[in-house]
Amino acid sequence: MADCCIFAGQGAQVPGMGKDFAESDSMLMDLFDKANGVLGFDLKKICFEGPAEELTKSNVCQPAIFVTSYAAFLAFQKRSSVSFAAAAGLSLGEWGALCAAGVLDFDSTLKVLEARGRFMQEACEAAPSGMIAIVGASPDQLSELCAKTGCIVANINSSAQQVLSGSKDEIAAAATVAKELGIKRALPLATAGAFHSKFMQPAREKLAPVLDGITFCAPKIPVLSNVTGKPHDSDPSAIKALMLEQVTGTTNWAADVEAAKALGCTRFVEFGPGKVLSGLIKKIDAALTTVNVSDLASLDATLAALG
């Protein structure tokens, strides 16, 4: 039985996250203080106290979820002898997985995610766009929905759930056309814009020189790529290229889970706020074991469950 560590994506943020970890361990409090120094603003205060509107901004949200997730990861490592056979994450969570696997250090990951979040927020504000979750569509229905509306598939979360990106008008049309096609559910999402689509091309272009200035190393354990659904290559330049492509490309979480299974992983430990990835994994394969570490109580429960 092998274990895979997984890291939460954008949308999981909640005021108060990370606070009990930091208050229980000076090393973890130092992690949040260090983040403040790297970023030049009080991320710790926003994580611990909110307000929610501030925490939702992409340039705040992305580093905030990463620091909270990484604090959870370190808290787990302090109390557990579990060694992970693979790492994965959804969208920004893939950066947490890369950091956990030693591809880049904590400071560098923070700098990347602040810039990534800021550039994505700017792209959202430049062109009104959005996302819509589609539940229970057949492959033919999904193809027809995209063909009729101009939307593209941004996330493949499971065979039963995909997320589409498009302009505001395309997303509105998708909600209507989904009903006409008899698709079970179409739910517009409260995102700042159309992530993982052509609308993020300006963000991708601005992020490229930032990544050029960051040192990447070969991963110590396999890290699954959202873009390919396979483990990243050991070549750091190839990892950089895929992480740039991830900004505009489809994230295939379902393929990542299947790739982790192929590596022998049957247990998944989710780090960070919420249980979104655990829920998606259960929809992909109900036989897989999922646990999450988002605060001290869930850490205790996870350690007990893993024995």
Give the active site residues.
91, 196
Omega prior to 51 cis, within 30 of 0: yes
Give me the helix-helix angle, 236-248 and 92-100, nearest 10°: 160
Q: Are strands 152-158 and 251-252 parallel, antiparallel or unpaired?
A: parallel
SS3 of residue 188 by DSSP: strand
State the Cα–Cα distance between residues 129 and 112, nearest whole angstrom.
24
* Per-residue burial over 118-146, b = 16 or more CB atoms within 10 Å of its CB, e = otherwise: bbbbebbeeeebbbbebbebeeebbebbb
Q: Are strands 152-158 and 161-167 parallel, antiparallel or unpaired?
A: antiparallel
Residues across the chain = 307
Q: Which two tokens stand for residue 262?
A: 């192929």
Residue 100 parent element (H or E): helix 92-100
State the Cα–Cα distance between residues 83 and 3, nearest whole angstrom.
7
**Who contacts 255 (Cβ-Cβ below 8 Å, separation ≥6)?**
156, 228, 229, 230
Evaluate whether 83 touches 145 at the Cβ level (below 8 Å): no
